[in-house]
Amino acid sequence: MKKLMLGNEAIARGLYEAGVKLVSSYPGTPSTEITEFAAKYDEIYCEWAPNEKVATEVAFGASLRGVRSACAMKHVGLNVAADPLFTLSYTGVNGGMVIFVADDPAMHSSQNEQDSRHYAIAAKVPMLEPADSAEAKDFVKLAFEISEEFDTPVIIRMCTRIAHSQSTVELCDRVERELPAYEKNPQKFIMAPANAIRRHPFVEERTKKLSQYGETSPVNRVEYGGTEKGIICAGTCYQYVKEVFGDSVSVLKLGLVNPLPVDIIKDFAAKVDKLYVIEELDGIIEGHLNSLGIPCTGKEMFSPLGEYNQTTIREAFGMAQPEFTSADTAVPVRPPVMCAGCPHRGLFYTLSKHKITCLGDIGCYTLGSAAPLTALDSTLCMGASVSGLHGFNKAGGKETEGKTVCVIGDSTFMHSGVTGLINIAYNASNSTVIILDNSITGMTGHQQNPTTGKNIKGEPALAVNLEELCKSIGIERVRVVDPYNLKECEDAIMEELSVEAPSVIISRRPCMLLKYVKAKPPVKVNNDKCVGCRQCMKLGCPAISFKDKKAVIDFTQCVGCDVCTQLCRVGAIEKGER
């Protein structure tokens, strides 16, 4: 039976068919759906972990016990998981273990364009890169075979286009594996220096064996066409090349992108007149060819920035573009904004109103950086707002302490913010941390987290009490505010900034998009009272606009949060009727 599947869904199907028992992940676009789809199979235990490091270590523990396990993350999540990854390369596995990483060329939902192939090279672990959903599923099963045959974790590199595009996948039955008896093996799994130094030669020898494996593996294949041009590519670039050139050029499609083969590349290069390397982001394959002394053309034709597509490739080769009909008028820019009724808006308005310096973090609240709120001063990585606030205030002293805060979401706080708060408490930093608790992991699509009281399947689970957690690590000043209440937000922020002590403000109201949150009747504008002062526009609410010098409320978007009514000095914005 065949089925049309997203790349991420195909990965989950591969996990099922490979007999995987455990998957642990932290949500992050474009990898999130892997674990969500895997959770639909009752045979696989799935969970949301607090962060990617924890998820990788959980998968290692399952592998140590002898079962097949996996974890999934986006490219920046691999940074968090790098610590266990590099040592996992030394320990190897008992049961097969696969790490899925989804890169995001063009930064559709990310803060950088990181190329995860560097991690596979540095950690000396094999990496596979599928080019469609069918390969995604098949490569998962192959990855577990490689993992167990070569005693190594295996990374499968996805990218946004492969993760979120669809193609047909052939469905197969699940193959169950018998749980082996556990045997203690301290020389292999206790990475004290005396043992680790003995495992390093194993890693180097394994790399040689994997290189040899890549020479004959069907995942690296040659498709001969015209010999005037030869193109080496992998992943989504293979699809673009085939769509542009068809069978008019010869293609070496690489599925195992680390370690890269040698002989198959030399043989391919010898059979074409001119060799090209087409790869998104960094020139890793090109660099490999340069090290082999094989002339090729790569980044001198193709940018190391963003995604490629068929147009990119045609332009690089000076080919005519296909004709198409476009709209006569330019499509207006539509930047992302916080939703109407977003609980973060009132809090950000208060910070902006008082010109408070605010270090931001990763989540939908990053949109508070956009006009007209422009409430954020920085966004670096998960949890950095809390640690950065401590450093900012230690450097600035009294000059900054009374007018600087940080904001961080509930899920991000559990991911890596709590350690920064411990640092604030331990090192006596006069800093105010604002936790934006919207009762869900918002930006990636409403996944549960340790504060929500539900697990990945929506079943009841332990809910971490943020107030008690903050107090338990030494923060004595902890208070909760409703971000829909502007006066309450203002009083809390100004009071905590005036006190010379570390403090936490929890801005708590559930995301308006949660199914159980019911909207109130939309507010309305009394045109007779409206004086066109535009004060309401300072909220940046997409439900509010201006026409004929009067405020207009879009009742299809307004959820009746009433924040704008608190701003209208003449009372022109009135609460809706029930």
Phi, psi of 552 (to 5 degrees): -130, 135
Q: Are 443 and 364 in contact, with CB atoms under 8 Å apart? A: yes
pLDDT category, 325, cuts 50, 70, 90? low
Which stretch of DSSP H or E encloses residue 64? Answer: helix 52-65
**Predicted TM-score (pTM) of this structure:** 0.94
pLDDT at 400: 95
pLDDT at 142: 98
User: What domains, with CATH codes, occur in the chain?
Assistant: 2-215 (3.40.50.970), 221-316 (3.40.50.920), 344-508 (3.40.50.970), 524-574 (3.30.70.20)
Which residue matches tokens 């001063």?
Answer: 377
Partners of 550 in the β-ladder: 547
Q: CA 370: distance to chain centroid?
A: 21
Q: Are 33 and 158 in contact, with CB atoms under 8 Å apart? A: no
DSSP state for residue 124 in the 8-state scheme? T
pLDDT tens-place string over residues 385-439: 999 999 999 999 999 999 999 999 999 999 999 999 999 999 999 999 999 999 9
pLDDT at 195: 96
Q: How far apart are the first and last CA of the chain?
A: 52
Half-sphere exposure of 404 (CA within 13 A, CB side): 23
Give Cα separations from 543 to 144, 150, 346, 551 (angstroms): 50, 57, 15, 10
pLDDT at 328: 65
pLDDT category, 568, cuts 50, 70, 90? very high
Q: What is the DSSP string of 81-98?
A: HHHHHHHHHHH--SS-EE
pLDDT tens-place string over residues 110-131: 999 999 999 999 999 999 999 9
pLDDT category, 577, cuts 50, 70, 90? confident
Q: Give CA angle at 407 (403, 412), nearest 5°.
A: 155
Residues 480-485: what's their mean pLDDT?
A: 97
- What is the distance between the alpha carbons of residues 108 and 74, in angstroms, rounded to a whole number? 12
Stated length of the chain: 578
- What is the distance between the alpha carbons of residues 449 and 268, in angstroms, rounded to a whole number? 49
Q: CA 108: distance to chain centroid?
A: 10
pLDDT tens-place string over residues 166-176: 999 999 999 99
pLDDT category, 323, cuts 50, 70, 90? confident
Nearest to 107 by CA among 75, 77, 72: 75
- What is the distance between the alpha carbons of residues 62 and 523, in angstroms, rounded to a whole number? 53
pLDDT tens-place string over residues 28-39: 999 999 999 999
Cβ count within 10 A of residue 29: 18
Q: What percentage of the chain has pLDDT greater than the value 70?
A: 99
pLDDT category, 562, cuts 50, 70, 90? very high
Six-digit token string for 469: 């957690």
pLDDT at 333: 78
pLDDT at 322: 84
Q: CA 314: distance to chain centroid?
A: 30
Phi, psi of 103 (to 5 degrees): -80, 160
Secondary structure (3-state) at 74? strand
pLDDT category, 576, cuts 50, 70, 90? confident
pLDDT tens-place string over residues 195-223: 999 999 999 999 999 999 999 999 999 99
Six-digit token string for 186: 């301290």
- Kindly give the pairing relationship between strand 256-258 and strand 404-409: unpaired
Q: Which residues contact 532 (CB under 8 A, 6 or more apart)?
A: 546, 549, 550, 551
Residues 357-362: what's their mean pLDDT?
A: 97
pLDDT at 401: 94
Q: What amino acid occupies position 475?
A: I
Partners of 406 in the β-ladder: 359, 433
pLDDT at 578: 59
Nearest to 569 by CA among 526, 535, 546, 523: 535
Average pLDDT, the chain: 95
- What is the distance between the alpha carbons of residues 273 and 354, in angstroms, rounded to a whole number? 66
Residue 292 scores a pLDDT above 80: yes
